[in-house]
Amino acid sequence: MSIRIIGTGSALPAKSVTNEDLAKLVETSDEWIRERTGIAGRHISTGETVAELSAAACSRALEDAGRTAEEVDLLLVATCSPECGVPCVACQVQGMIGAAHAVAFDLNAACSGFLFALHTAWAYMEAGICRNALIVGAEVLSKLVDWTDRGTCILFGDGAGAVFAEYGGKEKFYFVQHSDGSKGGALTCDTRQLKNPYVEMPMEAPWIRMDGREIFAFAVRRVPEGIEEVLGKAGMTADDVDLFVLHQANYRIIEGIAKRLKQDAEKFPVNLDRVGNMSSAAIPVLLDELKRAGRLKSGMNIVLSGFGAGLTWGACVMKV
């Protein structure tokens, strides 16, 4: 037995922001952003929270799966941009959708978060701890972005995606996961500073800081390695794969990965032109769009791969 993904859903904030809009805030241009990243627009929260976007994505995934919130056993939210430390986003979502019987908790592995959460849910189901799971990737990164830093504010977008998976079916899932904390300084975002009556610390702005070139080089090297590794576990090669659903960070990264794997770029669907880099929400939102567009056909071999801050990266082979 294995698991099956039987429903997907997503939610984006109502406000859409173009590159031209950003060129009014920082010294940049539509041409530079498109050429260097492939991004033309993104959705930015004007009030929607990570929990609200997650709840909307979950409701759509449950509707798509033909299941009710009361049936959910496990509710996992991958996010690095929760509104508060406690309660976790997953518990907030549980309350919002009425998933009264679920165990709910969050997981943070930045842009690899959805993949790591899917792997966790898979392991819970394989171990018999639960029979089904709602797995969510959700971010409101716009509150962590320094809107005066043109190197980062042009990249990110807000949104949430969810899948509903249940135990059953014959097609095996294969996973690999990796982390390298020694390179964590390449992409950071502080939260609250230590501030109590016994310390005096300089306050630093808690914004996303990134060495874009280092992250770029890491992604183009490590992601193909991870994909080859998981394909090896599944006894497959890249030629056997129908679609590579990758974290949507930069179109040039996706092209570089396709080239290393010697695969046609058409096997790598993209939506980053419309939604930017939504960190842990990128893969489930793209999966939902592909499913609703009828592009996920029964029997297809799909590779998912996420990579980002931590550093973290991982890949999964699954059949739909």
Catalytic residue numbers read: 111, 247, 277
Secondary structure of residue 252 in the 3-state scheme: helix
Q: Which of residues 108-137 bind ligand UT7 (CB under 6 A)?
A: 111
Query: What torsion, rounded to 10 degrees, do the Cα atoms 17, 23, 26, 28 define?
Result: 120
CB contact at 8 A, 57 and 10: yes
Is 36 among the residues that bind ligand UT7 (CB under 6 A)? yes
Residue choice 113, 308, 310, 314 for contact with ligand UT7 (CB under 6 A): 308
Q: Which is nearer to ligand UT7, 105 or 216 (CB)?
A: 216
Tell me the closest approach of the beta carbon of residue 226 to ligand UT7, in angstroms.
15
Q: Which is nearer to ligand UT7, 32 or 105 (CB)?
A: 32
How far apart CA 158 and CA 236 sit, in angstroms, is 34
Q: What's the 3-state SS for 160-188?
A: EEEEEEEECCCCCCEEEEEECHHHHHHEE
H-assigned helices in 38-190? 50-65, 89-97, 113-126, 150-153
Give me the residue whose beta carbon is nearest to ligand UT7: 212
- Which residue in this structure is represented by tokens 């241009």? 29
The phi, psi pair for 277, rounded to 5°, reads -90, 110
CB contact at 8 A, 218 and 186: yes
Give the total of residues touching ligand UT7 (CB under 6 A): 19
* Residue window 136-175: x/- pattern of binding to ligand UT7, with contact defined by CB under 6 A: --------------xx--x---------------------
Is 19 among the residues that bind ligand UT7 (CB under 6 A)? no
* Selected range binding ligand UT7 among 52-60, 173-181, 207-215, 289-297, rule: CB under 6 A: 207-215
Q: How far is CA 176 from each of CA 75, 137, 143, 173, 227, rounded to the nearest angstrom?
A: 22, 18, 31, 10, 8
Q: Which is nearer to ligand UT7, 138 or 187 (CB)?
A: 187
Q: Which is nearer to ligand UT7, 154 or 231 (CB)?
A: 154
Q: Which is nearer to ligand UT7, 24 or 213 (CB)?
A: 213
* Selected range binding ligand UT7 among 48-56, 122-130, 208-216, 292-300, rule: CB under 6 A: 208-216
CA–chain centroid gap for 10, Å, is 12
Pick from 99, 98, 116: nearest CA to 107:
116
Is 206 among the residues that bind ligand UT7 (CB under 6 A)? no
* Selected range binding ligand UT7 among 4-12, 29-37, 52-60, 118-126, rule: CB under 6 A: 29-37
How far apart CA 2 and CA 205 sit, in angstroms, is 45
Residue choice 32, 103, 126, 242 for contact with ligand UT7 (CB under 6 A): 32
| List of residues contacting ligand UT7 (CB under 6 A) | 28, 32-33, 36-37, 111, 150-151, 154, 187, 210, 212-213, 215-216, 249-250, 277, 308
